[in-house]
Structure 1
């Protein structure tokens, strides 16, 4: 009786354990209430085998939970990919999916979010070459330049004898010579070389230095440089430039284009010529009216330019740098002798067969009113006037012929003295 109670208690404890455990709640037939059994329950060895077999038959996915969110994302991406991770089925696929992200071969998959930064390097192969920009130049410019050199071989143009290179005092100190070169360039604007040379000769006799220019009054300085073009403005420029040179540069001229163009009355053409003549440095092409005109006539520019500064930039794009210093001297003398502003001498020019502007009549320059070349009313040249203006012009001519010429007071006194005598 005691044995039966002990076995009943053991079975009751075992059954309570089975009912509370989640692994054994579905299989209740493991424990029997048959009193005919000696132990009153299933042996421990048989119970373990049954539990082991049941765990094997269950779905392995529920037994292996994925705890890391990164692994869940990678598993979903790998399942979506076209290439399977393993040819096996069941637990092998899950095992590879959970273990594979821990390796270092993750960046090899194309759908991975983390990718390595690739360093791109270019090898110098034969097929690789830098982009080439188009270099434009006139068709026959070398031939035309050779003909201009031949026509300028005599060196008898006004620029050859009276240009800025001939206007400074050779025996003066270096800074004084450079200042005189700058002054001659400032005076040469809108002025012929003959007039500039005469004005420089008078300035040198007076003393063409920074100190003397500042000590000379405006009236005296105007008489020295007269009759250069715009001589009143140039008097002011000379005074302001001399004061600036004495204050900022110690009486010498600047040795850069940027410093020279800061001076009053000095433009880019004068700056580049001053750098070439005074400092012996080629900084650019000095383009004046002659160089501007001839370059457009010869077709040395890709498109026509409107002012000398545009011509300078266009020439410097294609003309070799070793010719920048020579081109001003060549074209200025050529423009003074052959390629004149009005009625150029194309018949004697060696470039008449290659120049696109050859044998084209230039527009005649209208002379100023009151000059000897201006047409008089009695001349045979026809003047286009309206009918009212023509009638008024005839009346004026008749009145001039009838009226006596005015006599001054001095001539009247002389006539009276002669009559009384």
Structure 2
């Protein structure tokens, strides 16, 4: 039996209060200056560090400035331009296809609805949420990346494993006003303290309210995930 919703709501409120105090200025770490750059950066960031993406896009955004530039790009050349990004060949294909769709169906502009965004190549709900929040100032859901997934489970906010189900659980217990910032807070805390394999529980501001806090971080038998 899972934790009652009201208990999880109280847990979420306490966690967010502490993390807001710990990371008052946290925000998205990808570099971009417009919606197209944001979309491209988020697509490239899948299973790749933001730091590496920022290194690559510094030159990429000078060469490819419009959706038409991606649509008309030689895919092999674009793959070379993003070399160093994980799955760069696949992502080059996503970007050329996305450029074609933006030109053909959206006048070269990045759309502002979840459905239209997730119709683009390489764009799932997580990517679409980021683009909506930071490109269009529309908060429709919660971005569930690897840090949000890990911390949500460790902190007892969900027992789900799939990102879509984790997002649904979080949206049910976290006020909508906190949906966007929750992701940034969890990412900052995940990077600084709550590491995947060696979390620094003794230094964690959530240690006393974290059901997963323990000195001996064994592998969780239920999920096979190193805690």
Determine helix, strand or coil for the equivalent of 1:243.
Answer: helix
Determine helix, strand or coil for the equivalent of 1:136.
Answer: helix
- The reply on whether 1:168 has 2:32 as its aligned counterpart is yes
For 1:347, the equivalent position in structure 2 comes to: 202
Higher CA-based Rg:
1
Gaps spanning 5+ residues in structure 1: where?
Answer: 1-133, 170-176, 364-421
Find the aligned partners of 1:355 and 1:143 in 2 and give their Cα distance: 11
- The reply on whether 1:191 has 2:191 as its aligned counterpart is no
CA change 1:362–1:228 in 2 (3 A) is farther
Aligned residue runs from structure 1 range 10-409, under 5 A: 136-138=6-8, 139-153=10-24, 155=26, 163-164=29-30, 167-169=31-33, 177-301=34-158, 304-359=159-214, 360-363=216-219
Asked whether the 8 Å contact 1:214–1:239 carries over to 2, the reply is: yes
Asked whether the 8 Å contact 2:71–2:103 carries over to 1, the reply is: no
The CA deviation at 1:147 is 1.9
Asked whether the 8 Å contact 1:269–1:287 carries over to 2, the reply is: yes
Find the aligned partners of 2:19 and 2:51 in 1 and give their Cα distance: 23
Find the aligned partners of 2:118 and 2:77 in 1 and give their Cα distance: 26
| TM-score normalised to structure 1 length | 0.49
Gaps spanning 5+ residues in structure 2: where?
Answer: 220-227
Q: Deviations over 1:138-160 (max 9, x none)?
A: 143322222222322465xxx65
Structure with the bigger percentage of helix: 2
| TM-score normalised to structure 2 length | 0.88
Q: How many residues align?
A: 215
Asked whether the 8 Å contact 2:36–2:110 carries over to 1, the reply is: yes
Find the aligned partners of 2:204 and 2:20 in 1 and give their Cα distance: 12
